[in-house]
Amino acid sequence: MSTTAPSWAAADPYAGALRAGRGPLFLRRADGWLLPLEVERWCARADAADRTALDRCEGAVLDVGCGPGRLVAELAARGGTVLGVDVSRAAVDRTTRLGGPALCRSVFDRLPGEGRWGTLLLMDGNIGIGGDPRTLLERAARLLRPAGLLIAETDPSDVDERAQVQVVDLVGARSAPGAAFPWARLGTPALLRHARAAGWRAAGQWAAGDRRFVALRSRSASSSAEPPKRTAVISSQRARKPSGDSPVTDR
């Protein structure tokens, strides 16, 4: 996996859509295939399907690829410890305006509280970050405490795909396409296969409307003390070594 390729969340069309709170916006493969991005849903409040995942969260929650912050805001309003991370400054700004804490970083950056998070969220297809699910699962295991919980939203179809994609806005040419970057799409069977190979165990799977979710448990013996093996995809901030008891301490 390339660690220098730009992420879709840092692409200008994406930032513009978040600021406007609406699409249409798409991921486009090199062959022209388009995947609609649900900007309006992401910019709304957490919905009933989201809450089926949030209700399962344990301990302090790290929302990876938090987008405009609906899940971070919901968990913060519940009084929980939560942190969103996203490479898009527009996403982080919107999250903080909603009252949720967030950092403008890649999941592959050094992050606060490594090895102490109770739950890690990969919602809205974010299991595709970086285009290499195995590497992302290994990174998630280092972020979680021993036997920590990973909740991922999977593709409704039985797909296991890696591709170079661009973020595009096809209406009125409001902005140029973003640079190409690696992305992955996984259905539930594919995620479970990759998870087993990476040492995770299944902790549940469910559907809410047309959305699909999987819960996984990391190893009891955590390898989170190891330093991250990957550098940032894109980051406008660099984390310092966390201190204190709270996972979100970043001094």
- Residue 187 in any domain: the answer is yes
- Residue 233 in any domain: the answer is no
- Residue 128 in any domain: the answer is yes
pLDDT attached to residue 242:
33
Q: What is the CATH number of the domain that holds 41?
A: 3.40.50.150
- Residue from 112, 163, 154 nearest 5 by CA: 163
3-state secondary structure of 187: strand
Overall number of domains in the chain: 1
pLDDT attached to residue 3:
40
- Residue 244 in any domain: the answer is no
Pair type for strands 61-64 and 181-186: unpaired
- Owning domain of residue 68: 8-217
- Give the whole-angstrom CA distance, residue 61 versus residue 246: 11
Q: What is the pTM of this model?
A: 0.84
- Residue 2 in any domain: the answer is no
pLDDT attached to residue 248:
67
∠ CA 56-59-61, rounded to 5°? 80
- Residue 73 in any domain: the answer is yes
pLDDT attached to residue 249:
59
- 125: how many CB neighbours lie within 10 A of its CB? 20
- Residue 231 in any domain: the answer is no
- Residue 248 in any domain: the answer is no
Q: Which residues of the chain have pLDDT under 50?
A: 1-6, 8, 10, 222-245, 251
